[in-house]
Amino acid sequence: MQTISQVLRNLNILELNPAYSTGAVWGSSSGSNAIDSYSPVDGEKIASVQVVSAADYEKVITKAADAFLFWRSMPAPKRGEIVRQFGDALRKYKTDLGTLVSYEMGKSLQEGLGEVQEMIDICDFAVGLSRQLYGLTMHSERPGHRMYEQWHPLGVVGIISAFNFPVAVWSWNTALAWVCGNVCVWKPSEKTPVTAIACQHIIADVFKANGIPEGVSNLIIGDKITGELMTGDSRVALISATGSTRMGKEVGVAVAARLGKSLLELGGNNAIIISEHADLDMSLIGAVFGAVGTAGQRCTSTRRLIIHENVYDVFTAKLVKAYAQLHIGNPLDEHNHVGPLIDRAAVAGYLDAIEKCKAEGGRFIVEGAVLEGPGYTSGCYVKPCIAEVENDYKIVQHETFAPILYLIKYKTLAEAIALQNNVPQGLSSAIMTLNLREAEQFLSAAGSDCGIANVNIGTSGAEIGGAFGGEKETGGGRESGSDAWKAYMRRQTNTINYSNTLPLAQGIKFDL
């Protein structure tokens, strides 16, 4: 296993030098205008990174706007070729970048590598897409006329991302935005700035090797104040923001106030319905991975299990047994199933949620705790826990970003679907059943109200080929596959008159 300084060296970021394509400096000294990034794995400081100043931000946006003039006129398949090379560079750096993701964010090494794989996959998808940015042709009602639509890039796309997917979410946005002809400015989470700098270095080298002017990919480091520079800036045509519902409500309002476009990917409160017709062993894997994977810090983490009364006792016994076998510890050690939470504030949020749950009447069948002692010195390791609750408890309605699993019993499928839908969020959902009628009912218009609805798969772990996102307080945005690319472009309807008269639509006469 490599040391982290070796990983940083391999990624060319040991010195945190200014990257090629931005006006901002990363710096390396602690101070009021710097962010110190600590690993939740062992509590060690990884680096100090300088926060972008308002003056630096201006430089970045000006450079980005200039770069757009060049980038938009490059044929889309040529832009796709650059993204193809980016995918190749990610293949080269997969182990190093995946290790850094795991160390800075705290997810397992397998998941860190998986995140980089997701970046590679979206690059492949975007390369194909660069030859498929199709518009429709329509039949005109007027003789000698042709009507069609085409898609043009928007300009500067601002990407605000969350800590839990420190690199993949950026690539979902940026790979598509680039082939569509946009330039991007990325404000990563202030909790994971070092992985973002590593990504910027990787793409900067690709652009440089191809003689692309600076400013197509830009990185600004900072917290919400830096994010607000972009959300209030009408030069940023689209803000794609991933994070909490609280953040989304602020960003949505700020962008709407200037009539800009926003794409919001916010919190979830995801449930699996375990039917009496489920394969219980398969359901167990889906439920446990969904609840404890990434220490419950995925937007698609399983927060609630809605279990049929006929299988409730047998399934909960299996769950309790499985939880007793979980290994909690350093996520870079592949024997561990559960790593740390991102920081001590997240640990406080976990403890607070447990207290609130108990106060509302929740009964814990697997108790939670903060782990102490050797291997847990960062203070960020907690025990995944399970509570029997009612769906309408305030704490159950709220997304707690930690491995707390709530159990709810049901009698009829209609009741289970109502329980599943009866939360403010609408991201991911699943039913475990071998009964076709139940499965189809769950997927029907009267079924799940979420953006993602699965059968015999858990709530977490989406593929890049589908459109990803959710409804209600999850924000309504869609990213990644299917036709999500349309969010990064503007649609233009074109009508061409090749006749020698000027007929008006709807038969209106206007003779001079």
Where on the chain is the footprint of ligand NAD (CB under 6 A)?
Answer: 160-165, 169, 187, 189-190, 223-224, 227-228, 231, 242-244, 247, 250-251, 265-268, 299, 399, 401, 427, 474
Closest approach of ligand NAD to the CB of residue 163, in Å: 4
| Of 268 and 447, CB closest to ligand NAD | 268
**302 strand-pairing partners:** 270
| Of 165 and 323, CB closest to ligand NAD | 165
Closest approach of ligand NAD to the CB of residue 330, in Å: 22
| Of 251 and 284, CB closest to ligand NAD | 251
Identify the H or E element spanning 232. Answer: none
Token representation of residue 35: 């962010």
Annotated catalytic residue: which of 111, 118, 214, 265?
265
How many angstroms separate the CA atoms of 26 and 228, rounded?
19
How many angstroms separate the CA atoms of 179 and 183, rounded?
10
How many angstroms separate the CA atoms of 217 and 204, rounded?
7
Closest approach of ligand NAD to the CB of residue 190, in Å: 5
Closest approach of ligand NAD to the CB of residue 64, in Å: 17
Show Cβ contacts of residue 177 under 8 Å, excluding neighbours closer than 6 positions.
157, 159, 183, 184, 238, 240, 488
| Of 80 and 193, CB closest to ligand NAD | 193
Q: Is 299 a catalytic residue?
A: yes
Show Cβ contacts of residue 246 under 8 Å, excluding neighbours closer than 6 positions.
none
Q: Computed from CA positions of residues 334, 288, 401, 474, in that sequence, does the dihedral angle turn out positive or negative?
A: positive
How many angstroms separate the CA atoms of 433 and 441, rounded?
11
Annotated catalytic residue: which of 199, 299, 357, 385?
299
Closest approach of ligand NAD to the CB of residue 480, in Å: 9
How many angstroms separate the CA atoms of 84 and 145, rounded?
39
Residue 287, judged by CB atoms within 10 A of its CB (0-12, 13-18, 19+), counts as: buried
Closest approach of ligand NAD to the CB of residue 436, in Å: 30
Residue nearest to ligand NAD (CB): 227
| Of 131 and 246, CB closest to ligand NAD | 246
| Of 204 and 484, CB closest to ligand NAD | 484
Given a contact cutoff of 8 angstroms between Cβ atoms, the answer to whether 48 and 27 are in contact is yes
Work out the number of other CB atoms within 10 angstroms of the CB of residue 351: 14
Kindly list the catalytic residues.
265, 299
